[in-house]
Amino acid sequence: MRHTVTVGPDYELWVEERGDADAPPLLLIMGANYSGMAWPESFVERLTSRYRVIRYDHRDTGRSSRAFDVAPYTIADLAEDAVAVLDALDVDSAHVVGMSLGGVLVQLLLLDHPERLRSATVFATSALGGAAPESGELPGPDPRILSLWQRMGEQRDPADELAWRVEHWRMLNGDVLPFDPEEFRDLEQRLAEHSGTHVADTAHARAEVGGLDRAAELSAVTTPTLVIEAPADPVNPPPHAEHLEAVIAGSHRITVPGMGHALSSAVLEPLAEAILRHTAAVDRDS
């Protein structure tokens, strides 16, 4: 079932829910500049074996409104959008899973709306700012990724844009697991068909990031939280996940071997299984 959710005078969000309507809800929050359709179909189907799975397109992605140039917003506003989605679907609380920027948004939800989260799962992400590890600064993205990001948003024809995006996924996949360019070419073609354009979504890179220095507050979190470590992640490499586990009270960490910053077919089953184990344990204890 698909919905349109209004989140202000300038924005409407495309929302989809799958699975048994009477099952516990599970909300998926995708990373920056990608729509909810970036969650692979087989992964979503695996989760629907137990949950009512909800995914949505962020502002300025997919079929949601694109209005950043006339109605700019903050990264924190994107977290509030997740609450608006739950409200619109009459969901009091849900298991919430966030990847990359989605993991940052989940942390904001843990702080500002803990009553709306049955559990939290975050991966391929970093902790909110404001608390560096005692051993020193956390590592930044691979320089190769930073170099490629300099070309994000350049005007390209559809074929060249597709080639750029596949190369982007190749780097995000990391240097451990095999990379199948056809898998990600098919993904990007589905995303372009869904959104109706091949033009890159870059609004999130321009959104205001103020007010995110809240890592110290995470020590008071009581929501059961799973941190999934992606050891080959070139964007948030180790020890980002270890640091995140340390700052979120009561969290625990598991590792998906070889995983990078991409949802390749090789990681989908262990990733889904880890989420299902975590959420099932929370459901049993509640």
The backbone torsions φ and ψ at residue 10, rounded to the nearest 5 degrees and listed phi first, read -115, -5
Per annotation, catalytic residue among 95, 198, 243, 261: 261
Tokens representing residue 48 in the block: 């629907």
The backbone torsions φ and ψ at residue 271, rounded to the nearest 5 degrees and listed phi first, read -65, -50
233 is catalytic: yes
Per annotation, catalytic residue among 57, 81, 142, 233: 233
Note whether 253 and 224 are within 8 A (CB).
no
Question: What is d(CA 216, CA 4) in angstroms, rounded to the nearest whole number?
Answer: 36
The backbone torsions φ and ψ at residue 190, rounded to the nearest 5 degrees and listed phi first, read -65, -40
Place of tokens 């890179």: 205
Buried b (16+ CB within 10 A) or exposed e, 210-225: eebebbebbeebebbb
Concatenate the DSSP letters of all residues of 160-176 into one string.
HHHHHHHHHHHHHT-SS
Which residues make Cβ contacts (< 8 Å) with residue 146, sequence separation at least 6?
140
Per annotation, catalytic residue among 93, 100, 119, 264: 100
What is the set of active-site residues?
Answer: 100, 233, 261
